[in-house]
Amino acid sequence: MKKTLLIVALSGLFIACNAQEKRAEMKSNLKVEKSEAEWKEQLTPEQFYVLREKGTERPHTGEYDMFFKDGIYHCKGCNAELFSSETKFDAHCGWPSFDQAISDSAIIEKTDVSHGMVRTEVMCGKCGGHLGHVFNDGPTETGLRYCINSVSLGFDEEAKKEDKK
């Protein structure tokens, strides 16, 4: 019995250390690092709640939920390009949905076990800001549905026009 408890305790310690190591590695790869005070000065309270505290906006309330103009969606925290309008679709879930990121380095994916669920969190690859979650129930050939908070996004219609030139 004591041996089993010791194995369980050591396993838990290993998992915790591994998770801490991965968080440190992720943070060291970020290109934008700011203090909490700097983020609070730059972002609105709702943007700070979502991007820095991993919050979620209420469904069907976001600016980009039913928005379908051509352009590029970028991170509100650091302006990094994240998603193209070409990959956006209406998932009827209440948040903007995309089937792929603009590039492999644009986002970071991490297992999220909060709220009694196992999900995959999506964060900005440049500043680490929380964007939303990705699910494997998408209707397109990728099979993915990136469910993203509008408040974490900005939109640039001109970026798409420049690409077409």
Q: Are strands 88-89 and 130-135 parallel, antiparallel or unpaired?
A: unpaired
Q: pLDDT by residue (tens digit) across 41-53?
A: 999 999 999 999 9
Question: What percentage of the chain reaches a pLDDT higher than 90?
Answer: 74
d(CA 138, CA 129): 23
d(CA 16, CA 2): 21
Give, in words, the CATH class of 34-164. Answer: mainly beta
Q: Which amino acid is at 102?
A: I
d(CA 81, CA 86): 13
| Contact present, 112 and 119 (Cβ < 8 Å) | yes
d(CA 85, CA 98): 8
Average pLDDT of the chain?
Answer: 86
pTM: 0.79
Domain boundaries, the chain: 1-30, 34-164
Is 17 annotated in the active site? no
pLDDT reading at 163 higher than 70: no
CA 43, distance to chain mean position in Å, is: 16
Lowest mean pLDDT among 38-52, 76-90, 104-118, 149-163: 149-163
